Chain A
């Protein structure tokens, strides 16, 4: 069974569109995260979400919003997509905040 799964694996879209990436974890973890990995492979935290408490990295544009329907899911919504949003987005989860993290396979977003 996959521990952390993301859909879709690839997402190609036009500038200005709104898109969502879904993330699910079956590990029973309390904390979930979204990361962005750019073309230089630098991995940067975007959000962490723990017991309905959202911690936002201040550099993330407000076009990005995480939505958690329940503890096992943390979806990422992106409005008005821009060229610079092209990257690989990783979802992750951990049992405790700051502990070992389990990453999903990533979603490669390409904005044309």
Chain B
């Protein structure tokens, strides 16, 4: 069956450290992968998109990697801040079909001051 799993439901990290979130998928062939941030009571907000032929993407303190062999994406937040505390969602867009997003289970990140 098709699955998109994010490494842990919750992750606590000390302020200033690098947070690393994992997204693993099985039985999908994604064309690209997106990461979103969701705060309580709000809709998801787009952060980064990485294509299948790209290894790495950066945006300010954020970095995403995409390994289609391992079927895995890593999402890094460097120099983490309490304001980074939120739920982070990965989402796949498939190579065929309607190009809809298929979301992972999410990781709730808490950055401790």
- How many A-B contacts if CB must be within 8 Å? 55
Binds A, one of B11-19, B58-66, B92-100: B92-100
- 13 more contacts with CB within 8 A, not counting A42-B105, A97-B98, are A33-B101, A41-B87, A41-B105, A43-B44, A43-B103, A45-B103, A55-B98, A55-B100, A90-B43, A100-B34, A104-B43, A105-B43, A106-B41
How many residues belonging to A are interface residues under a CB distance threshold of 8 Å?
23
> Is B45 at the interface (CB under 8 A from chain A)?
yes
The residue among B41, B45, B101 with the most chain A CB atoms within 10 A of its own CB is B101
Interface residues of B (CB under 8 A from A): 31-32, 34, 41-46, 49, 87, 89, 93, 98-103, 105-106
Q: Which residue of A lies closest to B89 (CB)?
A: A43
B89: chain A residues within 8 A (beta carbon):
43
Query: A100, B99: Cβ atoms under 8 Å?
Result: no
Whole-angstrom distance between the alpha carbons of A33 and B89 in the complex?
17
Whole-angstrom distance between the alpha carbons of A4 and B46 in the complex?
13
> Is A52 at the interface (CB under 8 A from chain B)?
no
